Amino acid sequence: MTTPDLTWNTTLLYPAPDSPELEADLSSFEPLAATFRERYFEKVATRNDSELLTAIRDYEAMQTLMAKPFCYAHLLFASDSGNADYRFLSQRCSELGNRLSQELLFFDLELMELEDDRFERFCAFPESADYLHFLRGIRKFRPHTLKENEERLLTRKDLTGVSAFSKLFDELSASFVYRMELDGDERDFTGEELLALLHHTSADVRLRAFSTFLERHGEHGIVFNAVFNNMALDHAQEMELRNYASPMQPTNIGNELPDAAVEHLMAVTEANFGLAQEYFRLKAQMLGMQKLRNCDIYAPVAAAEKSYNFEEARTMVVDSYMSYDPEFGRIVDAFFSERRVDVMPRTGKTGGAFAMGISPVDPPFLLLNYTGTLRDLATIAHEAGHGLHFVISQQQSSLNYHAPLPLAETASVFGEMLLTRRMLDNEPDPLVRKSLLCAKIEDIIATTFRQTVLTRFELRLHTERAQGLLSNDQIAEIWLQENAELYGDAVEMIPAYHWGWSYISHFIHSRFYCYSYTFAELLVLALFKKFSDEGDAFKPGYRNLLASGGAISPTDTAALAGIDISDGELWQKGYDVLAGLIEELKKIC
């Protein structure tokens, strides 16, 4: 039997990184941008409605063309950051993208600066309807936008500033090889393989694996300190230039959520930290431990944790989507049959997992680091949900393709719920059912409570960096204090957790992204409750939610599936579901 190839087939995009097709595309972009600039620079306000619509569509067409090679370069770099050809292409695309941004940013600025009455007249133009959400979204940043020459200078400096620090973080993290003894054999591990050992039955293995992982980052503490301090300093300087009131404000404006609404979400979450502590104490009893350490949270409750080979995991995930909707199942299966998934961990490959939606006309891809654990199985369902979302929203045009950030995790978390429910319904073994229930509770804790801890840490990091350079000990103090709010006296943090902040890439790549996980998890608990209550009647609204991409606001998007995110009780209802799961677990312990 032939072993399936579990790496990406990136020839779906280009034949090779040195192909004439890729070179032709990359070489065409600067002339395209120059022509666009010549046609529209300092002329946007003078165009009539039809001409302005043509300009927006021309701009959108360029975005679609440019997305393909730039994402291709990112996929290659993520698959092997040590490959010299991939690194060269990635850097070339970064520099080209920066030059293109400088050339084209005038267009957003001139759209922002349209007089309100002129903008409203354009909004009344019937053919503009598809672009109104995009236009209103960028105009919200008008009070925080600089003049074009200043914006160009900032964009140009990003290449050797935050973008360079971001790439350094990625390359350093991907280069790590970890050495540890396991079962009498000392050998090399990738980071993902070590983190998978947090699901090992041996408490000693769990402690050594997590400590080895964290201490390896600590060996490069000087670099991580420079990255985190400079990323925070850069943001502080940009806040000052743009007159933002708080570090989170630009993210919240982009997410179309008031600062108060985000604070309410986190405050409700923190008020429910006791649920997590109740579960941690229950888990300690199940493991026969007096107290959990934070390396024990994901320990298996069975004597031997069940492992899933990849083909078995693929089938289970596809079947869970197929049972919900055959169309969903076929879309998810195509990622595997068309080799749009890179599956196994290896040195040089980006850690964690992600889904990349390129454009409405190009196929999305998934990255995994599969090691066979139940958590990895759920990760396949999670990333497949992202991929499904990217496919269904391809009915939108490029400027409306990507879902608003608060809803970007909806399909992924919903997919995990589909998998968990199918496994619970089909699993006769009570011990396995207990493991599944524990895994779901732990996942909700990680996706809500932990993400709020990360957001609080990130907020304090930016706030306290404004007072001066932070040492690694100071960063660690903030980190441990915020985690202590969640763990209380129920969990002991291991000494190496001093470095727990240093490997979390969201802090580097997607500032204040983490609360979106909390938003999505609690939203999905509400959506899944509606699905359980309504059955097939729920499905059209949910599909419409996914298909809308970024064409409408988060409030209007959720409303398509019958959810009112302005409901003050929505978040607490989600935690009530978690409380019910913990009570269900108590009954079978």
User: Does 2 have pLDDT greater than 70?
Assistant: no
DSSP at 359: B
Check if the beta carbon of residue 85 is closer than 8 Å to that of residue 17. Answer: yes
Does residue 414 have a pLDDT over 70?
Answer: yes
Do 585 and 438 touch, CB atoms closer than 8 A?
Answer: yes
Tens digits of residue pLDDT in 337-352? 999 999 999 989 998 8
Element (H, E) at 292: strand 292-293
* Count of CB atoms situated within 10 Å of the CB of 463: 14
Regarding beta strands 292-293 and 491-492, do their DSSP bridges make them parallel or antiparallel, or are they unpaired? Answer: parallel
CATH classification of 21-160 is 1.20.140.70, yes or no?
yes
Is it true that 169-302+449-509 and 310-445+517-572 share their CATH fold?
A: yes
pTM: 0.87
> What gap in Å lies between CA 571 and CA 518, rounded to an integer?
9
SS3 367: strand
Q: Is 292 exposed, middle or buried (0-12, 13-18, 19+ CB in 10 A)?
A: buried
Of the candidates 310, 317, 298, the residue with the CA atom closest to the CA atom of residue 344: 310
Q: What is the mean pLDDT of the chain?
A: 94
- Predicted local confidence at residue 511, as pLDDT: 93
Stretch 22-27: mean pLDDT, rounded? Answer: 98
Quick one: pLDDT band at residue 90, thresholds 50, 70, 90? very high
Paired residues of 362 in beta bridges: 359
Q: Show Cβ contacts of residue 335 under 8 Å, excluding neighbours closer than 6 positions.
A: 341, 364, 365, 366, 384, 387
Please give the pLDDT value at position 303.
64
pLDDT of residue 366: 98
Residue 37's pLDDT is what?
Answer: 97
| Cα torsion through 501, 503, 505, 508, rounded to 10 | 60
pLDDT digits (tens, 9 = 90+) for 11-22: 999 999 999 999
Residue 4 CB neighbour total at 10 angstroms: 13
In the chain, what are the domain boundaries? 21-160, 169-302+449-509, 310-445+517-572
Mean local confidence (pLDDT), 54-81: 97
Rounded average pLDDT over 208-223 = 98
In this structure, are residues 321 and 328 in contact, taking their beta carbons and an 8 Å threshold?
A: yes
**pLDDT of 520-569, one tens digit each?**
899 999 999 899 999 999 999 999 999 999 999 999 999 999 999 888 78
457: nearest Cα among 424, 433, 492, 482: 482
Q: How do residues 216-256 score in pLDDT, each as one tens digit?
A: 999 999 999 999 999 999 999 999 999 999 999 999 999 99
Look at residues 499, 450, 494, 41 and name the one whose alpha carbon lies nearest to residue 270.
450
- pLDDT exceeds cutoff 60 at 103: yes
What percentage of residues in the chain have a pLDDT greater than 90?
Answer: 89
Task: Give me the percent of the chain exceeding a pLDDT of 70.
Answer: 99
Tell me the fold of 169-302+449-509: Neurolysin; domain 3 (1.10.1370)
> Greatest CA separation found in the chain?
75
CATH code reported for the domain at 310-445+517-572: 1.10.1370.40
Give CA separation, 400 vs 131, 270, 390, 405, 577, in Å. 8, 34, 11, 13, 33
Residues 514, 454: contact at Cβ < 8 Å? Answer: yes
pLDDT at 436: 87
Q: What is the pLDDT of residues 163-179, one digit of tens each?
A: 999 999 999 999 999 99
Cα(98)–Cα(380) distance, rounded to whole angstroms? 33
212: left (phi over 0), alpha (psi -120 to 50) or beta: alpha
| Cα-based angle 548, 554, 557 (whole degrees, multiple of 5) | 40
- Residue 3 clears pLDDT 60, i.e. is over it: no
H helices present in 41-146, as ranges: 49-79, 84-112, 116-123, 132-139
Give mean pLDDT, residues 209-219: 98
Question: Which helix (DSSP H) or strand (DSSP E) does residue 185 occupy?
Answer: strand 185-189
pLDDT of residue 160: 86
